[in-house]
Structure 1
Amino acid sequence: MRNRVLSLLALGFGLPAAALLWDAQAYRLSDLFAAFAEPTGLMRGCTDIPEAVALAETLQTRSLRIERYMGSLEEKKAEIVRAEAALRDRLAELKAQKATLRSRRDGTSQAVRSDIDRLVALYDQMKPAEAAAILTNLPSDFAAEILMRVNPETGARIIAAVEPRQAALLTAEMGARSVRKR
């Protein structure tokens, strides 16, 4: 019996509250909490009771605070919207810069590759003894890179023309470069 009464009371209070909230969706949230009547209208005939006057003043003060707070929330919402728009613009700008840098880098990489290909073709055309003499004077990592890219037969003849100690260093560097690329 007690549960039925509680359920009926909850239903009795819950339905009007739900209806009020449903109706409030069409309005701003600050309108929902705005004072519905002027305190002076409520106080008509009650100005001789100090507790009622104090309560009315407290309610009016709270109402004003709530209205100011809701106004500041609206300002903050607008500020967040502006910040999001600025971030979206900045993101688009950064993406465009990234694409520009990528295209420049790809162009530079392609130019470097074509230069290396020309250099490798040059070493492919040289006599092994002449290529060996030049490669021994280059930094070992650069010489190893060239040797790795030339035709394998030409590379073998070039390494054969290099003094054994230098050939061992170049071969070790070539092996190390192969391992690093993996």
Structure 2
Amino acid sequence: MKTPKPPAQAVKKPRRRFGRGSLMLIAALFAASALVRFGAGIAEAVAATSSAETASADSKSDCVTEPGLMNMLSEVQDREKKLAEREKVVSDRSQALTLAEKRIEQRLASLVEAEKNLSQTVEIADKGADEDVTRLVTVYENMKPKEAAPLFSTMAPDFAAGFLSRMRPESSAAIMAVLDPKVAYTISVIMAGRNAGAPQN
């Protein structure tokens, strides 16, 4: 019988196992390297994020606590408050002026109405007085000159001149003839002086 040869497979199998193991090891090393790199990237990103948040928090705290900006903010708020107060004062004054204007307009309207009423009253009074004087003139004209003369002698010269100037010429001449010469002269001067300044043309 022939002696069997040692199987080639028994020699080759360890080589194959060694080759597969090395591949697995290399793959594991690559995976570990990738994980390390990925982890390092995540760590850098987390560190960058945390540093950015810290910087942002520091900047916020700096903005809030910086005395210059706080002073400026306080000044701006004070100015806004003062402007609001001035605006309120101006608004109050404007309302007061509006009310005053309305009251003045009402008073002017009442004064115009009162003046109109007064003018009508004066016109009525003047008309009544003129009618009374006309009646008196008629009475004096119908009196005898000797009876009317004593009345004109006791009147003020201006008053007497007013009556005589409104009487008919013949009646006033008859009364003047009976009056005391001095009284008649005074009345004549007053009557003549009333029309002295009148235009001649």
Task: Please indicate, yes or no, whether the TM-score normalized by the shorter chain is above 0.5.
Answer: yes
- Output the amino acid matched with 2:163: I
Distance across 1 between alignment mates of 2:61 and 2:110: 63
Match of 1:68 in 2: 85
Please report how far the alpha carbon of residue 181 of structure 1 lies from its aligned counterpart in structure 2 after TM superposition.
Answer: 8.9
Structure-2 separation of matches of 1:95 and 1:101: 10
Identity of aligned residues (%): 26
Instruction: Give secondary structure in 2 for the equivalent of 1:99.
Output: helix
Greater relative contact order (Cα 8 A, min sep 6): structure 1 or 2?
1
Distance in 2 (CA, whole Å) between partners of 1:180 and 1:139 is 22
Note closer, same or farther for the CA distance 1:87–1:45 as it changes in structure 2 (3 Å cut).
farther
Give 1:106's aligned residue: 123
Per-residue CA shift, 1:8-33, capped at 9, x if unaligned? xxxxxxxxxxxxxxxxxxxxxxxxxx
Q: How does 1:37-48 map to 2 (within 5 A)?
A: 46-48=63-65
Measure the CA separation in 2 of the matches of 1:44 and 1:110.
95
Give the TM-score normalised by the residue count of structure 2: 0.62
Q: Counterpart of 2:69?
A: 52
- Structure possessing the higher radius of gyration over alpha carbons: 2
Q: CA deviation at 1:44?
A: 8.2
**Do the aligned partners of residues 90 and 44 (structure 1) sit closer, same or farther apart at CA in structure 2, a change above 3 Å counting?**
farther
Q: Which moved more, 1:74-83 or 1:153-162?
A: 153-162
Which residue of 2 is the match for residue 30 of structure 1?
A: none
Which residue of the partner structure matches residue 165 of structure 1?
Answer: 182
Aligned length: 140
Letter matched to residue 82 of structure 1: L
Question: Which of 115, 118, 139 is 2:132 aligned to?
Answer: 115
Q: What amino acid does structure 1 have at the position aligned with 2:103?
A: A
TM-score normalized by structure 1?
0.68
State which of 113, 125, 129 in structure 1 corresponds to 2:142.
125
Could you tell me which amino acid in structure 1 is paired with residue 146 of structure 2? A
How has the CA–CA distance of structure 1 residues 181 and 146 changed in structure 2, closer, same or farther, with 3 Å as cutoff? farther
Shift of 1:86: 1.0
5+ residue gaps, structure 2, are: 1-59
Deviation at 1:101, TM superposition (A): 1.7
Cα 1:169–1:55 change in 2 (3 A) is same
Return the offset for 1:108. 1.3
Structure 1: distance between partners of 2:61 and 2:125: 85
